[in-house]
Amino acid sequence: MKRMLLLFIAAFTLVGCAAEQNYRGVPSPSWKHLSAEQKQLIVDRAYQDEIKQEGVVRTEK
Amino acid sequence: MKKSKTVFIVLLALLCTACAKPIMPPLKYNKPIEFHVAKNAALNWEVGKQYSSAMPSSTSYNAGLIGGIVGAVIESADRERRPSLYSISYGKAEQSIFMTSLRDTLEQNHVFKAVELITDPRQAPAKDTLINVYFKTARVSSPEKNYKITLSVEMAIAGAGKSPFKRTYLVESDTGGFGKSVMDQKIDVSQKLLEKMISGIEEWHKQSSKG
């Protein structure tokens, strides 16, 4: 039982440390496999979407 | 000991899923393309809605009460912290690979004089041909339907002095065949879309040459 508890704590800590990051809507495991050009394209796309959204918010105000 | 073994297996499975997350490779178009447009083209990419599918729990029913609970708690925490490992989608990453593949296909086959990828249609010079690719919906079905991928993509082409052209393509991945992975389905659906788009550009070229 003690061993199980230790194992659980160890596993929980391990899982807790490995929280994934998100780059402009793309999770890090996928992001790592993209080329520099594809990453740039995603960043540009996200930037344009943000500008669009900001424009909508401003016109709503 | 049997229970701790089960927990170890769950943990190992969790760690392995972190490693096994390959992404779609660049697409290859092997058919000959016989038409050419003596103009530059700008390829604009737009993203619509994405519907992902959650993967079922990997906790074993034979783990026993404590083993099962521990496994489920670990998996639940991991799902929260690394959601992408437990869901399948045709998202921005796949779409960006598709867009660069489409650009490469058009360039390699000299369909246009030059092709540039853009994300804002205003970036395109007025004399260029503007090809707008809008991924309206990218849907992945449930595990019961073998994560079938359905894409609804709108392609609009506008060129100086030419009438506008618009087509919507609905493509589905082929789930048939033993051992067909999600990756195979992503490649399959993307390849189908690529072929439809090349045919669409050819249709536009024929129409605009007549008119």
| Domain count within chain B | 1
Asked whether residue B94 is domain-assigned, the answer is yes
Q: Which CATH number fits the domain that encloses residue B97?
A: 3.40.50
Residue A47 contacts B where some CB pair is shorter than 8 Å: yes
**pTM of the entire structure?**
0.81
Chain A hits for B92, CB-CB cut-off 8 Å, are 24-26, 42, 45
In degrees, to the nearest 5, what angle opens at C-alpha B129 toward C-alphas B152 and B33? Answer: 70
Per the CB < 8 Å rule, is B93 touching A16?
Answer: no
pLDDT of B49 above 70: yes
AA letter at B104: D
Closest Cα partner for B122 from A44, A10, A56, A16?
A44
Q: What is the ipTM of this complex?
A: 0.80
Asked whether residue B7 is domain-assigned, the answer is no
Per the CB < 8 Å rule, is A38 touching B45?
Answer: no
| Model pLDDT for residues B151-168, shown as the tens digit of each residue | 999 999 998 777 889 999
The pLDDT score that the predictor gives to residue B8 is 60
The pLDDT score that the predictor gives to residue B59 is 66
Asked whether residue B122 is domain-assigned, the answer is yes
| Model pLDDT for residues B55-112, shown as the tens digit of each residue | 887 766 666 777 778 778 877 877 777 777 788 999 999 999 999 999 999 999 999 9
Q: Which of A4, A14, A24 sits opposite B3 (nearest CB)?
A: A4
The three state secondary structure string of chain B is CHHHHHHHHHHHHHHHHHHCCCCCCCCCCCCCCCCCCCCEEEEEEEEEEEECEECCCCCCHHHHHHHHHHHHHHHHHHHHHCHHHHEECCCHHHHHHHHHHHHHHHHHCCCCCEEEEECCHHHCCCCCEEEEEEEEEEEECCHHHCCCEEEEEEEEEECCCCCCEEEEEEEECCCCCCCCCHHHHHHHHHHHHHHHHHHHHHHHHHHHHHC
Asked whether residue B25 is domain-assigned, the answer is no
Q: Which of A14, A38, A49 sits opposite B97 (nearest CB)?
A: A38
Asked whether residue B117 is domain-assigned, the answer is yes
> How far are the Cα atoms of A25, B133, B191 from residue B139, in angstroms, in the given order?
16, 17, 16
Full residue range of the structural domain in which residue B177 is found:
31-55+88-210
**Mean pLDDT in residue range B16-33:** 77
Report the interhelical angle of A36-60 vs B92-108 (nearest 10°). Answer: 120
Asked whether residue B64 is domain-assigned, the answer is no
